[in-house]
Each structure stands twice: as C-alpha cells, then as structure tokens.
Structure 1
Amino acid sequence: MVSTTFEDLNNSKKKLITDALLNEFSHHTLSTAQVSRIVKESGIARGAFYKYFDNLTDAYNYLYHFALQDIHQTITTDYHKKFQPDDYVDQVREFTEKSTNSRYFELVKMHLLFNEAHFSTPVSNHLIIENEFYWATQVLIHDAIKQLMLDPSSKELILQKLANVLHRLAKEDD
C-alpha cells in the first residue's frame, strides 16, 4: 500500500516519481520492471522508493489506479442501474478514446496485454456473484476494450458488434 510518506510529498516530487513509474510500466511488464530504473529517472534513493512503496507491485497498483481515476473522471458505472446496451457502448467508446488520447495509453495497453493476470480486482470478484447476463456483458465489454486498444482502426466495427450482442443479451434479460 502506498505510504502516507509518499502521499505527503510535495506535488512536484510526487509528479516526478509518478512520471518515472509511468515510463517504467509503460515500457516494461510488471515482471521485467526494475526499481533501479525508476529511482535513477526520478532521482530518488532506492531506500526512498521502499519508503514510499512496499515493492514494484505496490508501485504499479498505485500508478494504474491513479491513471484509471484520471481516465474515468467522467465515466459513471452504476451496477444497479437497469441494463442499457447503448450506455455501455458509449462508455466503452469514451474510455478507449480517453485512454488512447491520454499519456496512459501505453500503460493501459501493457496492463491489458501482460499485467492484468497478476491482479484480482473487486470488480471481477463482484462479477462472479452477478446474474449471467450482467456477467456476460462485463466480459464482452472488457474484451472489446482490449481489442480496441490493440486495433484502434477497427473501432467502429468492434463497437457495432458489441452493441449488437449487448442488445441481444438485453432482450434475453427482459
């Protein structure tokens, strides 16, 4: 867990460290990332890194959640709202556009391709207990996001296919 020592740093130092983390995790998988490159780029001591983060996974978690908060600022997810296929498609479009046009694009792409298997999230745990239609919807949305990140040129085709399948699922759920 990110330490309060890190949280209490002045904004310029925190940004310098966050930028170094972003560079490292955007170009290296979690399993090949190195503290030495992060501390060299950020200009902090190795001991300071471990004062701020428990380990590389902790630093990665901090950065990835920080990035998602920035990307998701205006995207809402209400798990108890009645299923609306077009709303989900719009959110996928917005998320992928914001990700693609953000400084976090390579990080998100690296996460989807290589790193997400290392993490169990409350969202995925939440999905297990939901009904089959909601579960299928979320699995499809996640896969569509992954495909959009890998092949942005197919955006409209992927979103149309997602919309078609989500509308069919919604009819089954009625």
Structure 2
Amino acid sequence: MRNTSTRLLLSCAAIGVVGGIVFIVNSYLGGTLNAVAPMLYGLTLGVYFVPGALAQRLFRRGGVALLVAVLSGLVAAAFNPLGFLAALISVGIGALQELPFLVTRYRRWPVWLFVAGAVLSGVVLAAGMYRLVGARDLDPAGALVLVAGSLLSPVVFTLLALALARPLAATGVTRGLAPRR
C-alpha cells in the first residue's frame, strides 16, 4: 500500500473493528443456525465479505480489503468460539477479495469485478461448506440449499457493501483518501 496515510489506516481500522463486532454476533447466530438447520448456514457466511468490499469500494486502493479483514479477524478472534482460526479465515477471505483487483493491478474498480471476486469466493466457500458441514449427510434438497446459499451469500453481501459505500462516500468521509477517478 503506497502512499498510506494515517487517516486511511484509521478509516480501515474503524471499518475493521465494526466488521469484527458484526463477525462476533454472526458467529453465534450462525453457530446456532448450523446446529438447528445446517442447510441454511451458508446464507450467513456472506457477512464476512462486507468490511473488505466496503473498504475497497470506498478507498479504491490495493490491500485495504486484506487490512480490514485482518483487523476484523483479530477483533473477532477474542470472542469467537473458533479463536485464532477465525482470524485466519478472515485473512483468507480478504485475500480472495483482493485477487481480482490484483489481476488488474489495482487500476480498475468496476462493479462486475467485485461480483467476479464474490463468485470466486463463493465457489471456494461452497466447496468448504460442503465438506465442513457435511452436505453429503443432508438430503439432496438440503445439500442444494447449503451449496447454493454458500455460493450466493458472498455475492449478495458484496452488493450490499457496494450499496452501503455509495451513501458513505456521499457524506465526504473518503474525500482525499480515494484516488481521483
């Protein structure tokens, strides 16, 4: 991250801390949902994509999704039942979010690139959930709901983050932080 100002770091930290608090709440709600209706667990996983996508959209700089994911994961790790593993998972999600923009060398920030990254992440997530939750133990409809939810959840929550970024940017909080278009 070249030309990184203290203001950018503090803005990423604020997004990361709020994201970490949301992750803590989601880990308990998602864990409860996994125990009650494991096929619906994939629908909750997209929450982990909001802070990184929000930072990328607001600041349009390389590395901000990874930075925000690390901070969110560290905040969540203290209160998450998974402990430090939650931070590692968050770092993996941040790295997946950075990948499409890294390919373009952080020169382009169109919405379709955010969606492409979310779809890629959804595929990785669906494969992991299929194995982790044990979709093969579910009936075919339940396995389909689990995989479809894991695929679509990152896309839906990434689009939600992009929608949240628009009014935040309109307030002027990112003035001087994002490169000129």
> Which protein is richer in helix relative to its size?
2
Do the structures match in fold with TM over 0.5?
no
- Of structures 1 and 2, the larger Rg is shown by 1
TM-score (norm 1): 0.38
TM-score (norm 2): 0.37
